[in-house]
Amino acid sequence: MRVLVTGANGFIGTALCKHLIARDFSVHGLVRAHVPDEVGVVYHSGSLEDSELLSECLVDVDCIVHLAGRAHLIREKGGGVAAFRAVNCDATLNLARIAQEAGVSRFVFISSIGVNGAQTDTKAFDESSEPEPHADYAVSKFEAEQGLRSLLIGSGTELVIIRPPLVYGLNAPGNFARLLKLVASGLPLPFGGVTNSRSIISIENLVSFIALCIDHPAAAGQLFLVADGKDISTSEMVVALAHGMGKKPLMLPVPDALLKFGAQLLGKESLYTQLYRSLQVEPSKGRKLLGWEPKEATLESLEKVGRLYAAQR
C-alpha cells in the first residue's frame, strides 16, 4: 500500500514515516524544502500550492496522511487567521481536490484538539462535543475539517479526521521543548500544588494510531479524539521528566491569581491555560471501533523522554 505523508520531515512526520516503513508500507514524503536522509522514503520537495507537483506525487497513492501546516506565526504582513487559513485550510482543500482526481482512496487529516477548545471544566471532550476553536490556528483547522467534509464525504475518497492533544517526545517542538529545557536547568518552577488534569499523547502512540487509520475499514468517515488514556497534571509531568533526567525538581507553590495576573500582564494567557488549566479528552471511540491500544504508558514514556534528553546533552 502506498502512502503519501505531507510534512514528512516534521516531528510527527519523521516518526510516522519510520513507523510505516517498519510495517512494509510504500512511503512517499512531501516536504517544503529540506529533504531528509531517511532510507526507504521517496521524497518530493515543493509547495502544497503547486498543483502540478501534487498530481505527480499522487500517482498510484492509496492514502494521504496530511500533517503539513502552519502551527506558529512569525510577525509578517498579512498575518493573523488569514495566514493560518492559507496553509491549513486552503492548501489542504487543494490537496484533497487533487487527491480526488487522482483516485486516492483515503485522506487522513491530522487536525488539533484546539478545534474543541482550549480547556475543559467538568466534562472531557469527545467526538460529540461542540467545536469551540479560539486561537487562529484552531479556527483554520476547523475550517479545513468543514471543507474536507463537504468535499470528500460521499466521494470515492474516504475521510478520517484525528484531533490529538499535546504530542510529546524527545524532539517535540514548541512548549514541550521549552518545558524539557526548564526541567533540565534545575531552576525552581512555579508548578507546586498544580492539580490540573491534561490529556497528552506520546509520539509513539500517535503514529501507531495514525497507521491504524490508514487502512482500517471502520476508520472511514470517522472523527477521532486520541490520547494516551491517563490524564496527568503539569506538576506530575515535570516530576516524570525530572526523574528520567536523574533530577529532583524544585517546584514552588505560587497562588493561581498571581500566575494568571502575570500571564495577562505579559500577554501569555494561552501559555497560562496550557500549563495551569485542564484539558481532558475521552479517547474510547478509537479503542472500541478500531481495537487500538496505546503502546506506551504516560509516566513511563515521559521518564524515557527525560532519560533520552539528558543523554544527548
pLDDT digits (tens, 9 = 90+) for 54-110: 999 999 999 999 999 888 654 444 568 888 999 999 999 999 999 999 999 999 999
Quote the CA–CA distance of 153 and 11 in Å, as a whole number: 29
**At 69, is the secondary structure helix, strand, or coil?**
coil
Quote the CA–CA distance of 218 and 236 in Å, as a whole number: 35
Quote the CA–CA distance of 168 and 205 in Å, as a whole number: 10
107 in any annotated domain = yes
239 in any annotated domain = no
Q: Work out the average pLDDT over 209-220.
A: 98
Quote the CA–CA distance of 47 and 31 in Å, as a whole number: 8
183 in any annotated domain = no
Instruction: List the catalytic residue out of 137, 168, 276, 309.
Output: 137
Give the range of the structural domain holding residue 47, as residue numbers without chain letter: 2-169+200-227
308 in any annotated domain = no
Q: Work out the average pLDDT over 162-183.
A: 95
Q: Work out the average pLDDT over 271-284.
A: 95
What pLDDT was estimated at residue 93? 97
158 in any annotated domain = yes
137 as an active site residue: the answer is yes
143 in any annotated domain = yes
Quote the CA–CA distance of 38 and 118 in Å, as a whole number: 35
* 274 close to 175: Cβ distance less than 8 angstroms: yes
Based on the structure, what is the number of domains in the chain? 1
Residue 68 sits in a domain whose CATH number is 3.40.50.720
H-helix or E-strand spanning residue 166: strand 166-168
Paired residues of 110 in beta bridges: 162
52 in any annotated domain = yes
Paired residues of 109 in beta bridges: 66, 161
* Rg for the chain, CA atoms, rounded: 20
* 22 close to 41: Cβ distance less than 8 angstroms: no
Quote the CA–CA distance of 300 and 252 in Å, as a whole number: 24
208 in any annotated domain = yes
Quote the CA–CA distance of 138 and 50 in Å, as a whole number: 24
What pLDDT was estimated at residue 72? 66
